Amino acid sequence: MWKVEFLVSNVDTSHLWLLCRSIVLRKIKLIQKAASYKNMCECGLWLLKGYLMKNTLADIAVEGKKVLVRVDYNVPLDANLKITNDKRIIATLPTIKYLLKKNAAIILISHLGRPKGKKVDAMSLNPVSLCLSGLLGRPVKFIGYDCISHESKTAAANLKTGEILLLENLRFHPEEEGKNAVGEKDNNAMEAFAKELASMGEVFVQDAFGTVHRAHASTASIVKYVKDVASGFLVEKELKFLGEALEKPIRPFLAILGGAKVSDKINVIENLLNKVNAIIIGGAMAYTFLKSQGVSTGTSLVEDDKLDLAAELIRKAREKKVDFLLPIDHIITNKVDFTNKHVPSEADVKITVDEAIPEGFMGVDIGPKSIEKFSEVVKFSKTIVWNGPLGIFEINEFSKGTVEIAEFIAEATTNKGAISVVGGGDSVSAVKKAGVDKKISHISTGGGASLEFLEGKELPGIVAIPDKK
């Protein structure tokens, strides 16, 4: 109860009653609002604590056992089926080396590409086995064609401790993604496939962060059919950096979001508005936000059906006292060859004087004023989460904004002690293009998974891992 004292001389008591009632109702509303915020925070912290309480390799015995490891070897291949970027393979080495040290027999399972449930020679994991063998300096056995064939099961059964076997692409089977042979959703088929995979090992280790947002046979279902389950070192590291950045950030906390569509990042923005001090919006999605505020965007990519939503998100940011930063100038052009990632010689490329883009021109990058404005925010931030480029960075002429912001993030990390987390394929490519990937605190290996984590969603592949005892 709250004590309210009044000077009652010469005061109408009916007015006193109304005043007292008003104060009490206001107090009740404040408590309800505080309780709602407290519940929201407790929910987020519960999710973080839940993820950090999952079994890790340190919690299970693997010595002398056959260990199935789900890895993400969905690597890019050129026309000659040569791997052009082995980052995802390298990321799994700590877990593999630990298991070798513990004298386990290692059976690696992964997907590559989108074969849609059919065998596609160009999506075989054979090139990965050769690459991994070179990185480890030891043989990596590979069984092609079918990951649950008699040959695969025999190879797994005969695998000795200290040996490594890589099975063929999981997605050659439609059951991996929960479908049957005719492409229909079929949970029973997925469970049967998961059971066959599990029959080859005694322990399952989840080390494919890039797939944990999928409820597939090799991510969520397989754990039901093995005795011991844990996360690998890669997944453990991802959860630590992403989880602590979101729920226990050192402030000021800045989120930088880019990419083409507002619709792809709605839930991310909604979730982050409850956590960050500032949000920087770049890429084509910025034009939808600008148009929602009555700014001319020329022929830039705009989601006209999302204008009201964009305006509402800006309103919410103001309400929550979150700085919502949009570009104040742009690099624009009247012509670009998106297919060949090329600027035609006849194209007219300009820098705008302010946030407005004239008719006949489209925005392709943030301008120098925006870079300067955004860099000041980056410099003073202590936690930085970045997902999505700020322009068409694949074209050199339009990569300056993305590259310079990457450099400022790296500077804030190395010189000022900021924690920086970069997620999403394009963002990762951007920091590599800027040559600062070694200066970022953590680069996530899971584009879709990191995005869904930022949205506050549960990740089926993580939920499936048992909690520590």
**Residue 97: pLDDT band with limits 50, 70, 90:** very high
Q: Quick one: 285 and 405 in the same domain?
A: yes
CATH number of the domain where residue 425 is located: 3.40.50.1260
pLDDT in tens, 137-183: 999 999 998 999 999 999 999 999 999 999 999 999 999 999 999 99
pLDDT in tens, 282-304: 999 999 999 999 999 999 999 99
Residue 352, domain member (yes or no): yes
pLDDT given for residue 28 in this prediction: 46
pLDDT given for residue 49 in this prediction: 56
Q: Quick one: 220 and 306 in the same domain?
A: no
Q: Quick one: 427 and 410 in the same domain?
A: yes
Residue 392 has pLDDT above 90, yes or no: yes
Average pLDDT, integer, range 312-327: 98
CB atoms within 10 A of CB 199: 14
Taking Cα atoms as reference points, which of 328, 339, 401 lies closest to residue 364?
A: 401
* Domain-ending residue, one of 211, 234, 257: 234
Q: Quick one: 197 and 70 in the same domain?
A: yes
Rounded-to-integer distance, Cα 248 and Cα 290, Å: 31
Q: Quick one: 447 and 309 in the same domain?
A: yes
pTM of the model: 0.84
**Residue 430: pLDDT band with limits 50, 70, 90:** confident
Q: What percent of the chain has pLDDT over 90?
A: 79
Number of structural domains (the chain) is 2
Q: Quick one: 225 and 267 in the same domain?
A: no
H or E segment at 105? strand 105-109
Please tell me which residue in 65, 66, 88, 171 is annotated as part of the active site. Answer: 88
Please tell me which residue in 102, 382, 425, 457 is annotated as part of the active site. Answer: 425
Let me know the angle formed at the C-alpha of 27 by 25 and 28, rounded to the nearest 5 degrees. Answer: 65
Residue 4, domain member (yes or no): no
Q: Quick one: 228 and 247 in the same domain?
A: no
Residue 7, domain member (yes or no): no
Q: Quick one: 399 and 253 in the same domain?
A: yes
Residue 222, domain member (yes or no): yes
- Catalytic, 144? Answer no
- Residue 267 or residue 331, greater confidence: 331
Where on the phi/psi map is residue 125: left (φ > 0), alpha (ψ -120 to 50), or beta? alpha
- Catalytic, 363? Answer no
Q: Quick one: 340 and 426 in the same domain?
A: yes
Q: Quick one: 277 and 226 in the same domain?
A: no
* Domain-ending residue, one of 187, 215, 234: 234
- Catalytic, 70? Answer no
Residue 46, domain member (yes or no): no
Taking Cα atoms as reference points, which of 273, 278, 346 lies closest to residue 312?
A: 273
Q: Quick one: 111 and 219 in the same domain?
A: yes
The parent domain of residue 430 ranges over 241-455
**Residue 428: pLDDT band with limits 50, 70, 90:** confident
Residue 349, domain member (yes or no): yes
* Domain-ending residue, one of 216, 234, 252: 234
- Catalytic, 88? Answer yes
Residue 304, domain member (yes or no): yes
Please tell me which residue in 261, 369, 433, 457 is annotated as part of the active site. Answer: 261
pLDDT in tens, 367-389: 999 999 999 999 999 999 999 99
User: What pairs with residue 67 in β-bridges?
Assistant: 106, 203
Residue 435, domain member (yes or no): yes
Q: State the amino acid at position 273 in one-letter form.
A: L
Give start and end residues of each alpha helix (H) in 199-306: 233-247, 266-272, 285-292
Q: Quick one: 170 and 250 in the same domain?
A: no
Residue 105 has pLDDT above 90, yes or no: yes
pLDDT given for residue 183 in this prediction: 92
pLDDT given for residue 330 in this prediction: 98
Residue 426 has pLDDT above 70, yes or no: yes
